[in-house]
Structures are given as structure tokens and as C-alpha cells.
Structure 1
Amino acid sequence: MKSAVETLNPTRVRLTVEVPFEELKASLDAAYKKINQQVTVPGFRKGKIPARVIDQRFGRGAVLEEAVNDALPKFYTEAVNEAELNPLGQPEVDITELKDNELLSFTAEVDIRPALEIPDYSGIEVTVDNVEVTDEDVEKSVEQLRERFATTAAVERAAQDGDVVTVDLQAKVDGEVLEDGVADGVSYTIGSGELLDGIDEAVKGLEAGGSATFTSELKGGSAAGKEAEVSVKVTEVKARELPALDDEFAQLASEFDTLDELKADSRERLARMRRFDQATQAQERVLDELLKLVEVPMPEKLLEDEVRTRKHNLEHHQLGQMGLDLAKYLEIQGKSAEEFDAELKEQSEKGIKTQFILDEIVGKEKISVGQDELTEHLMRRAQSSGMSPDQFAQAVVEGGQVPMLVGEVARGKALATVVEAATVKDADGNVVDLDEGDEEETAKVEAATETVEAAEGKTEA
């Protein structure tokens, strides 16, 4: 077999392949065998029809077509490997010549990963937010904990903000009560925003037994998105009572004996969260700077496929789960279709560039993935998919997706390598040591992997 490569542009090549006919022998034998099992010829047992009879009865052309279709993937793969190409997607194959007992010639056009020059990235410098926990932050955190231990007691007065009311609801559209528009005994905290728009104003000022009517756009159900006339009746009003902020509360709500110890723990927990947020911010900003350093030719077909896939996932998965269509989503976002398409294309380009550049760094830095790192990644992916780790692992193996997961972790490690080489400063100009803390190395790699996935568009919006 002979092959030659013609570069059409930085991201697309044309392979020209010539195959001597004797190299088609195995595929020709397989073609005769396959046809033998599919046809019947009087006077011959099934599977025992001579090749010359098949040629006479069904035509040599049918055999050649079957043999070529069987052989093309093998010869294409050999040509790709010989040229050391990294193809993207399926090739466009054109058989240019087929001479029986002489020669098979074909061309294959395919997008390839562009060759990239990765410059010295140690000069990257980014600024991130300070890690600062104020007394107000601590008080807010403790107050949120206090809210979780609140109790309620029935009161004989008008409902007000923060009260928990029990209500009966009835929704009408065009004067007709909806089949799924009636609900009794619904518990609702005034001001929480967890029910219909307008209900807060309707129930405030009502005592048990009081009722009101208001208009609201339905968020779900058979008439989602339509304006409805909603009748609400308050059957009970309860006031929320918060526990006193003292040592007794600390013992009730935590493992600490005193309120001061609880507050100190809250401060440290908030500081850990801020340090994690700071590290994530550093990863995102370093990645953005890295993308600016490298010129990446964009394979147009790959970009088109990526844009189409992202749009499909948004429309048919994410928005569908929220009961929205694309038009309603754009209305909520305040975007035109043109603005949305432009943003989607920009995000898709960033995702492709991120993968290309980090994969190049993986090779350049000879980055490998350890079993602990892969297991950590698999556990997180299983959790986000709603499957058990064993179920997810089995699905990954059966689907041949282990190399894909390894690639995801490797790109995370590549980003972590770049971040380690970069200079990260806080808003005050102090150099930030992102290795501070007791976080395990696998957890740090997984955090970087999540940042990469977000850039590549692999996390849900």
C-alpha cells in the first residue's frame, strides 16, 4: 500500500491511497463467504457456492463492492498511522480507481488536530480576589444555621413576612378551573419566593379563614406560561420562633460546647470555602491567559458539530427539564437569537481550544494519570450522573469510554501544571500560595478537571 498526504489547510488533509489488488484478497474471501451465506443457488448447498458461480449469477461488481467496503477502514487507518495524523471525526472517502485484479485507489479528506506551538507559560500572571472573612459573614452563617432550627407555633393574627401559612389554592385560566390547578394544605413561608408570583402580597394581612384572589403566570403544569386567576384561602398562620443565640444553641446545632467555638469553626469553614473559590478563580484566569498565548487554527466542521451539539443539549435536556423552550429562555436572558448564536459559537471555540492546548501540554510534559486520580474522577462523574460508582464504571467500560475519562483527568493535570508555573496575586498584590491547606493532591487535580470541563462545556448550565 502506498499513501501520500496533501495539506489543504492547517486543520484538513487529503490522503491519497493506492492498494495493490493482492492486498484485497482477505476482504474478497470474506465477501464471497458473506454472499454465500445470504443467497441460494439451485444445485449447490448454502455456503458451498463456488466463486465463479457467484460472479456469474450476481456479478463480480457486487463482490468487489462488498470487499472494498470491508477493506477501506483498514487501509484508511494504516494510512493515518503511517502519516502520524490525529484525525477528527469521520473522513470523506472517494474511490478514484478500481481495476479488477490490478489496483484500488481512493482519497480521504479529514479534519485533523492542528500542530500547536506551546510557548513558555511560566510568565503568566493573574490577580484573584482576597480571602477575607468578616464578622458579618460569620454572623450570617450562624444565622442561617439558626434558621434551620427554627420552630413554628400557630398564632391568631394577620399573616406577615416570615410567617408560615397553610393555604388552599385554585387556579383558573379563561374562567375554567384547571384539572391540575387545585391544591389544598400547601405550606408556604411568606417571602421565600417558592410559590407563585403575587402570593406574598395576597396572603399578607390575612388571618386564618381569610381569602384573596390574584393574577400570576403559572410556572408549571398543563398551562405553564399562561396567566391564571388564582384563589388562595389561608387556613392557618404560624409564626417562626428562632432559638436564642447562646451556648445551649451551639450544643444543639453542633459538636461544640460554646457559641464562641461555633463561630470560630464557622469562620474557618468560610475561609476554606473562600480559599477554594480563590483557587478556582486562579485556574479559570490562568486558563484564559493560556488561551491568549497560543494560536489555534479552528477546524470548521468540528466547530459546527460542537455548536450544534451544545444547542441540542440546551434545548432538549437542560431547558426541557425546566419546562422552557429556547424562545422563552432567550426572553428571560434578554438576548436575541443572533446574540445567543454568537455566544454559543464563542463558547464552543473556547472549549475546542482548551482541549487542543491542554492535550498538547499533556504530551509535552509527559503527564500520566494515576489510578487514584481516575477513581476520584469516576466517583464524581458517577455522583453527577445519579448512578452508583459500580454502575457508572460498568457503563464506562462497556461503552469504551475509559480513554475519554483518562483524557479529562490528564487535561485537568495539565491545567494544574500551568497554574503551578504561573504567578497568582491577590487584590492587594500579595503572591498567593495555592498549595496551602491540607487538600489532597487528587482533590486538587479533580478541582482543576472541573474547571477544564466547564471551559469545554461538559457541565450543565
Structure 2
Amino acid sequence: MKSTVEHLSPTRVKLAVEVPFDELKPNFDRAYREIAKQVRIPGFRPGKAPRQILDQRVGREVVVQEVIREVVPAKYGEAVTEAEVQPLGQPDIEVAPTEGVDTLSFTAEVDVRPEITVPDYAAITVSVDAAEVTDQDVDDQLKGLQARFGTLTGVDRAVQNGDFVVIDLAASVDGEAIEEAQATGMSHEVGSGQLIDGLDEALEGMTAGETKQFTTKLVGGEHAGSDAEVTVTVQTVKERQLPEADDEFAQLASEFDTLDELKDDLRTRHARVKKMEQGSQARDRVLEALLEAAEVPLPEGMVQATLEARAHDAVHEFDHDEQKLTEYVESQGQTREEFDAELRADAERTVKVQLLLDEIAQKAEVRPDQNDLMQNLAMQAQRYGLSLEDFIQQAQQAGQLQSMIEQMQVETVRGKALATVVRAATITGPDGEELDLSELFGTDGDDADDAADDEDAPAAEGADAAAGPADGSEVAAADTDASDPESPSSQVEADGDADTEVVGAPDSTTRA
């Protein structure tokens, strides 16, 4: 076999391959045998017809095409190895005419992994926000915990921000009622912004039994982007009353005996959250600095595939109706052209991050291990609310386990590569003092254990989280505890008083 490579660009090559038919004798033998089994020729048993007869009956070209089908993929692979290129995606193969020649010739154009000069990431310096916990932070955490144990008491006054109301909602577009936008007896915290735009503003000042109409732009469903006329009726108005912050409350809401002990614990917990936020910020800013310093040629095929996946996800939310997507985009003050340009830029950034981190991982000889895989599988199982065994079994039954494992390994390696860069970079606080983040990212030659898991904090924004977290898990603020304020999702009647409700309930930190 003879092969040559032509570099069409830094990200695309053209391989030219020539294979004399003499080298393909075993392939021709197999092709003749297979075709002989499939063709019925009078006077010959199946599979026993001579080649000359087969050439007369089915044509020599049929045999050649069978050989081509078998040989081209294998010879393409040999040519790739010989040329020492790393293909990305499937090649565009063109086979030359074979009639009257004694050589199989074909060309293959394919995107390849470009040569990348990795910047000196030890020279990267970024600054991050401080991680100190103030007294106000502790007070806010305490108020959030108090809110969990607050009560809702009925009041005879106009609705105020922070009140809890029970409402009826109905929406229509062009006079036609929207079925999925009708609700009766819905609980809502005024000011939370959890329902539709304009609702909280409309509710303030209303009283029980009052009805009001307002206009809003719908952001989802069949009528996304359309103006809807919304009618809201207030049934009841209740205000939240917080328990006194004292030792008795500390004993009710936690494992501690005194309020001071509870505050110390809240400070410790919030400090851990702040530290993780600081680590997440460091990781993202280091990545941005790395991208700015690196020249990464982008393979168009890889960019296009990523772009198509992003575009598919976007229109999928609108039942694959491009017009509805366009209407929604325009309702957000953006043209469709601007939206598409953003998708393109995001796809290009994704590819740049992936290629750069892959190069760093290769040079640093980063490898995933069994612990990484099991941790990632366990994390995915938890997100789906399944045990690890059930998750693996379901993935296996769906035929997705192997591809899932391979993708996890890729993400883990990229995450570790980014951790390598962060460890080498200089991270400073607002005062310019260098920070030690080894607790989150480990030390040189060491892979840090999972610091936290936060699926809302992208490891490499625009990389489908493919850049991964710094160490294969995600470093970010995700330390959920009793100190996190949250709105009640349900209200439990207490003491038989229809006007007083308990907001929230003890959680895992509550004294038994």
C-alpha cells in the first residue's frame, strides 16, 4: 500500500491511498466465495461456481465493490496511522473508478486534531473574591433557618411583599383560554418570582376576594413569546412570623443547646460554602485566562456537530417549531440572527476548551482511575434518584452503559487537566495575597478528592461541562444544610387553626 497526506488546513487533511489488486488477493478470494454462495448458477452447487462464470453472470465490478467495502475502512485506518494524524469524526471518502485498472485508489478527507502549543499556565495569575464570612452573612443564614420554622398567620390587610397568598389564576391569548395556565387554590410567596412575570407586582396591594388582570409575555409552552391576559384572584393572605432566635430555637432547629453554638456552626458551614465558591471562581477565571493565551485552530466539522446539537436542544423546547423559537427569541429582545450567532460562538468555545484540555491531559499524562468512574456513576445515580446498582442496570439494559462510561472518562480527564492548570496558576484574593486552594484542587502530582458537587456550576462553561470540574467532580457552592433559606413548598395546618400554618419542618440537623 502507498499513502500520502496533504494538509489542507491546520485542522483537515487529505489522505491518498493506492493498493495494488495483487495485495488484495485474500480479499478477492473472500468476495468470490461470498458471492458464489448467494448466486444460483445451473450446473454448479452453491458456492462452487468458478470465478470466470461469476464474472460473466454478475460482473467483475460487483466483486470489486465487495472488496472495496471490506478493504477501504481497513486501509484508511492504516493510512491514518502512517500519517500520524488524529482524526476527528468520520472521513469523506471518494473511491476512484476501478474499471480497467489493477489498483484500488481512494482519497479520504477528514478533520484532525490540530497541533496546539499549550501556554505556560504557571504564568497565569487571576484574582478571586474574598471568602470571609461576615456577621451579616451569619444573620442571613439564621433568618433563613428561622423561616423554615416560621408560621403563617392570616391577616386582614392588603398583600405585601413577603406574604403568602392562595390564589386562582387564569390566562388567555387573543381571548382563547390556555388550558395549562389555569390554576385554583395555588400557594405563592409574593416577591419570590417563582411563577409568571408581573404576578408579584399585580398582587401587592390586593386584598382577599379581589380580582385583577394584567398582561405578561409567556416564556414556554405552545404560546411562548405571546402576550397573555392573566386574571388573578386572591383567596387568602397570610404573613410569616418567625420564631424568636434564642437557645430554645437552637434546640428545636439543630443539635445544639445554645444560640451561640448554632451561630458558630452556621459560620463554619457558610465558610465552607464561600471557600467552594472561591474555588469555582478560580477555576473559571483560570480557564478564561488559558483560553485567551492559547491559539487553537478549530475543526469545522467538530464545531458544526456541536452547533447542531445546541440548535437541536434549543428548538426541542418548542416542539421543534422553528417559528416558535424565533418568536420567543424576539420576545427576549434579541433577533434570531443574534441568537444563532451566540450559539455558534458557544459551540466554538466548547470545541476550543475540549481540544485544549485534551492536549494538556495528554502532555501531563492524566488518566482516569476506577475511583473516578465509580464516583461519577454514583453522582449520576443520585441525580436520578436511583441506587448505583439500579442506575447501572438500567443503563446496561438501554445499551448506554459503555458510551456513558467512555464519556465520563473523557470528562474526568479534562477535569483533572484543568485542575493541573489551576494548581500551577497563581490565585490571589482582592488584597493581592496568594491563596492556597490545595484543599479543593490538590497539590502537584495529586488528584484532589471531590470537594463538592454542584450541577449548577459549569466546570468549563460552554463545554457541555466536558471540561469538567477541576478534579473530576465539580467544585462549587453546593453545601446544602439547615442554614439555607428556602421558600416553603407546602404548608401544614397546625394546632387546628386554619389561619396559622407551620412553614417548613426539621431536617437532618434537627435534634432527635
Verify the 8 A CA contact 2:160 2:205 in the aligned structure 1: yes
Indicate if the aligned counterparts of 1:376 and 1:446 stay in contact, CA closer than 8 A. no
The equivalent of 2:424 in structure 1 is 421
**Which of 372, 379, 392 lines up with 1:390 in the alignment?**
392
The aligned amino acid for 1:91 is P
- Matches of 2:174 and 2:119, distance apart in 1: 66
Q: Distance in 1 between matches of 2:228 and 2:331?
A: 20
Matched, 1:343 2:342: yes
Measured after TM superposition, the shift of residue 72 of structure 1 is: 0.4
Instruction: Tell me, in whole angstroms, the C-alpha distance in 1 between the residues paired with 2:82 and 2:164.
Output: 72
Is the CA contact 2:128–2:429 (under 8 Å) kept in the aligned structure 1? yes
Note if contact 2:423-2:441 (Cα within 8 Å) is conserved in structure 1.
no
The alignment's TM-score, normalised by the length of structure 1, stands at 0.86
Task: Tell me the equivalent position of 1:85.
Answer: 85
- The 5-angstrom pairing of residues 21-420 of structure 1 reads 21-36=21-36, 38-42=38-42, 44=44, 46-47=46-47, 49-96=49-96, 98=98, 102-180=102-180, 182-200=182-200, 202-218=202-218, 223-317=223-317, 325-331=324-330, 333-384=332-383, 389-391=391-393, 394=396, 398-420=401-423
Distance 1:48 1:311, change over 3 A: same
Q: TM-score, normalised by structure 2?
A: 0.78
* Length, aligned pairs only: 457
Cα deviation for residue 353 of structure 1 reads 2.0
Cα deviation, residue 77, structure 1: 0.4
Letter in 2 for 1:421: A
**Quick one: distance in 2 between partners of 1:154 and 1:250?**
26
User: 84-93 or 230-239, which moves further after superposition?
Assistant: 230-239
1:168-225 CA distance string (max 9 Å, x none)? 3344444455545543222223333333444445555555444444444455566554
Tell me the equivalent position of 2:436: 433
CA distance 1:399–1:366, shift in 2 (3 Å): closer
Q: SS where residue 434 of structure 2 aligns?
A: coil
Distance 1:119 1:246, change over 3 A: same
2:469 is equivalent to residue 454 of structure 1? no
> In the alignment, residue 463 of structure 2 is paired with which amino acid?
E
Check the 8 A contact 1:170/1:232 in 2, yes or no.
yes
Name which structure has the greater RCO, CA cutoff 8 Å, separation 6+. Answer: 2
Amino acid across the alignment from 1:390: I
How far apart in 2 are the matches of 1:332 and 1:32? 64
Are residues 241 and 110 of structure 1, via their aligned partners in 2, closer, same or farther at CA, if it must alter by over 3 Å? same
Q: Identity percentage over the alignment?
A: 47
SS in 1 for 2:450: helix
Equivalent residues of 1:409, 1:445 under 8 A apart:
no
CA distance in 2, matches of 1:328, 1:256: 54
8 Å CA contact 1:373–1:446 kept in 2: the answer is no
Deviations 1:357-410 (A, max 9, x none): 222222222222221122222333444567654147636765445343222211
Distance 1:257 1:445 in 2: 29
Structure 1 range deviating more: 342-351 or 395-404: 395-404
Partner secondary structure for residue 16 of structure 1: strand
SS at match of 1:92: strand
Bigger mean CA offset, 430-439 vs 202-211: 202-211
Task: Name the structure with the higher helix share.
Answer: 1
| More displaced stretch, 387-396 vs 233-242 | 387-396
Indicate if the aligned counterparts of 1:150 and 1:240 stay in contact, CA closer than 8 A.
yes
Does the 8 Å CA contact 2:224/2:328 hold for their aligned counterparts? no
Which amino acid in structure 2 is aligned with residue 419 of structure 1?
Answer: V
**Equivalent residues of 1:22, 1:101 under 8 A apart:** no
Once the 2 structures are TM-superposed, how far is the Cα of residue 22 of structure 1 from its aligned partner? 3.3
Give the AA of the match of 2:392. D
